Amino acid sequence: MEESFLYQQIAESIRREIIEGKLKPGDRLPSIRETTRYWSCTVGTVQRAYKELADQGLVVSRSGKGTHVVERLPSQPAGSIRRATLYHHADSFLLEAITAGYSPEEIEQAISLALDRWLAYEKPAAQHAVQEIHFYGSHDLAVKWLSDHFERIVPGYTMQIHFVGSLGGLIAMAQGDADLAGCHLWDPETNSYNDTYIRKILPNRPISIITLAQRRLGLILPPGNPLNIKNIQDLARPEVRFINRQSGSGTRVWLDAQLNNLHIDPQSINGYAQEKLTHSEVARAIIEDEANVALGLEAAAVAFGLDFLFLTQETYDLVVKETDEARIWIESLASFLKNVEIKREIESMGGYECSQSGTVRRIL
């Protein structure tokens, strides 16, 4: 292990013992020589670790008396130590990933995808905070990106994400929980996206609909497509192991309509009942060999280095109930999405087409 990395591990180990109470105020730390032998490292590495702990106000060293935990920990120690611990976990992970040959861009993308997974399980807040926009709706990588930049888009506002599926987002808006909903619900009768469902679930209400992007949807496959899958009909082949999206998601609505049109019994598909909440999760299931085909976004396939078989282009819309306050950030959000540089940023994720991004239409 590199010495520049090891000192962080030593400091983290001691920090954890202080947090857990194994090392109490006034306790003496092992001598530098003892710690050097235990960690099989140089004296300089241990000295650097002890200095970091001293700089954080956790330990004090006195000539001839060794290094001790301070008698009185810094004010609000739990928060500061907790943040320092998180920072060093992150720093250690970054160093390990970079040493393994990953680029900073690959690492950032991996962290964003991992966060997507946890956002899908996030519990709704008990009440709305002031200047906080609550998003409920279908999972989308560009929505996560918007959330990360929302204070830049609408100064003074933040956006909290709840990935609950397209139908779940519209229902949350009908119930008053959502300020912003995201959906991509295909109506086979009109061969159009979203408007039919919005009118049914949110009748007789002034609604603004902002187009986020057109998205490429298709089959996510292992590299090289070893089973030579060519279409939806192949999902019923006995050697195929499918992973599905949850009921109520726009992806699931589209798939079920296609299966019905093709007269394919969903129960004939191995894995149809196995569900994931996000496009990132179904792509990850392919990587981990939990399945060998999934229906999802090209952006997710690109992010995980998987093959992709294009099936359709869908429209992902952002739905807003018009209020005096909402009109302020509707205009800002639409203007942001119309920006040429922002369109390029979203399209760079793969599988997005943004010529209509920022377009606003109204339903009464």
Start-end of H helices in 40-99:
43-55, 77-99
What is the per-residue pLDDT for 78? Answer: 47
Q: Above 90 in pLDDT, residue 342?
A: yes
pLDDT in tens, 240-249: 999 999 888 8
Cβ atoms within 10 A of the Cβ of 17, count?
15
Mention every residue, 6+ apart, whose C-beta is less than 8 A from residue 352. Answer: 142, 213, 214, 215, 216, 299, 346
pLDDT in tens, 105-149: 777 767 776 666 565 555 444 444 448 889 999 888 899 889 888
Calculate helix-pair angle for 104-119, 279-287, nearest 10 degrees.
120
What is the per-residue pLDDT for 363? Answer: 84
Low-confidence winner among 12-16, 151-155, 191-195, 327-331 (lowest mean pLDDT): 12-16
Mean pLDDT value of segment 199-207:
90
Mean pLDDT value of segment 253-273:
94
pTM of the model: 0.63
**Is beta strand 275-276 parallel, antiparallel or unpaired with respect to 242-245?**
parallel
What is the per-residue pLDDT for 232? Answer: 96
CA pair distance 316, 336, nearest whole angstrom: 16
What is the per-residue pLDDT for 268? Answer: 95
What is the per-residue pLDDT for 327? Answer: 83
Contact 137, 177 (CB under 8 A): no
Mean pLDDT value of segment 304-315:
94
Pick 104-363's CATH classification: 1.10.10.60, 3.40.190.290, 3.20.20.70, 3.10.180.10. Answer: 3.40.190.290
β-pair partners for 132: 158
What is the per-residue pLDDT for 116? Answer: 65
Mean pLDDT value of segment 33-58:
85
pLDDT in tens, 54-107: 877 788 888 778 899 887 765 444 444 555 556 556 666 766 676 677 777 777
Catalogue the E-assigned strands of 132-267. 132-137, 158-163, 180-183, 186-187, 192-193, 207-221, 242-245
β-pair partners for 349: none
Buried b (16+ CB within 10 A) or exposed e, 24-39: eeeeebeebeebbeeb
CA pair distance 195, 172, nearest whole angstrom: 17
What is the per-residue pLDDT for 155? Answer: 85
* Residue type (1 letter), 310: F
CA pair distance 124, 160, nearest whole angstrom: 9
Tokens of 327: 């009109």
**Domains of the chain by residue range:** 3-99, 104-363
Q: Above 90 in pLDDT, residue 12?
A: no
What number does CATH give the domain 3-99? 1.10.10.10
pLDDT in tens, 153-201: 888 888 999 888 899 999 999 999 999 999 999 898 898 999 999 999 9
What is the per-residue pLDDT for 110? Answer: 72
Mean pLDDT value of segment 333-341:
93
